[in-house]
A and B are shown apart, each in its own frame.
Chain A
Amino acid sequence: GNSVTQMEGPVTLSEEAFLTINCTYTATGYPSLFWYVQYPGEGLQLLLKATKADDKGSNKGFEATYRKETTSFHLEKGSVQVSDSAVYFCALSERAGGTSYGKLTFGQGTILTVHP
C-alpha cells in the first residue's frame, strides 16, 4: 500500500536558518504530493503541492520538488521565521485507477520550532 515517511522531529532552529524536512514515499504509479502545515490548535492548511515528476511547488518562501527517481518531496526554506513554527505534514494522493483513489495518505508530521 501507499506510505509516507517524514524525518523524525522535533526540529529546532534559530531565526533565519535554512530548513529542510525530508519526505519519502511509496506508491504505485505517479501520485500527487502535498505539504500541509498545522498551527497550534488549528486544522491543516495546504502549503504547496506538485502533481508530476520534476514539478516544484512553492508558497510563502517554502519549496519542494517532486523527485520520482528518489521518491522524495523534501520541504525547504532558505530563511525561517518564528512565525513558521508549526507541524508540517507530507502527503500523497494516488492517481485514478489505484485502490486508494481520492484519499490522502499522510506522514506522521514534523514539529518545527523557530527561536528568535
Chain B
Amino acid sequence: DGGITQSPKYLFRKEGQNVTLSCEQNLNHDAMYWYRQDPGQGLRLIYYSQIVNDFQKGDIAEGYSVSREKKESFPLTVTSAQKNPTAFYLCASSPTGAPHYGYTFGSGTRLTVV
C-alpha cells in the first residue's frame, strides 16, 4: 500500500546535538512538507519542497534544515540552533498542481530533549 513512513516514532536528543528525522513516501507525490505541532497548538510549517533539489522555508525554519535529493525522501535535521525542539513532527506529501487533493500525512515523530 502507498503511504508515508516517518521514523523513528520516538527520538531523544541531548543538548547541543543534531538529529535527523526520516520521511519516505511511495505515493509518487512531487510535493513534501514538514510541520511542527506543540501541545494544544495547531500545525506550523517548517519547510516544504515542490520538486527534487528545491525547497523553501516555511514559517518557523530557524534551527532546522532539509534536503530533497530524491523524490521519495525529505529528511529534516533539527540542529543545535533550535532552542526548543521538543515537539511532535509531522511529514506530509501531495501531488503538485492538485489543490483539491489535500495532503497525506505520516504518523509523526515525537522528539524530546533530554
Interface residues of A (CB under 8 A from B): 31-32, 34, 36, 41-46, 49, 51, 89, 91, 93-96, 101-104, 106-109
Q: Other than A102-B98, A103-B45, give 13 A-B pairs with Cβ distance below 8 A.
A: A31-B99, A32-B102, A34-B102, A36-B102, A42-B107, A43-B90, A43-B106, A46-B103, A89-B42, A93-B100, A101-B99, A103-B48, A107-B42
Residues of chain B with a CB closer than 8 A to A49's CB:
100, 102
Complex alpha-carbon distance, A100 and B89, angstroms: 22
The 8 closest A-B pairs by CB, nearest first: A43-B105, A108-B42, A93-B99, A51-B100, A32-B100, A44-B105, A43-B107, A106-B43
A103-B45, A106-B43 known; A42 vs B96 contact (CB < 8 Å): no
Asked whether, in the complex, the Cβ of B102 is within 8 Å of the Cβ of A104, the reply is yes
A-B contact pairs, 22 of them (CB 8 A): A32-B99, A32-B100, A32-B102, A36-B105, A43-B4, A43-B90, A43-B107, A45-B105, A49-B100, A49-B102, A91-B102, A93-B99, A96-B97, A102-B50, A102-B96, A102-B97, A102-B98, A102-B99, A103-B45, A103-B48, A106-B42, A109-B41
Encoded as 1 (CB less than 8 Å from any A CB) or 0, chain B from 21 to 35 comes to 000000000010100
B residues in contact with A42, CB < 8 Å: 107-108
B31 touches A102 (CB 8 A): yes
Task: Name the distance in Å between B46's Cβ and chain A's nearest Cβ.
Answer: 13
Distance in angstroms between the alpha carbons of A103 and B57 in the assembled complex:
13
- Over the window 80-108 of chain B, the binary record of Cβ atoms lying under 8 Å from chain A Cβ atoms (1 yes, 0 no) is 00000000001010101111101111111
Residues of B within 8 A of A106 (CB): 42-43
Closest to B94 in A: A102
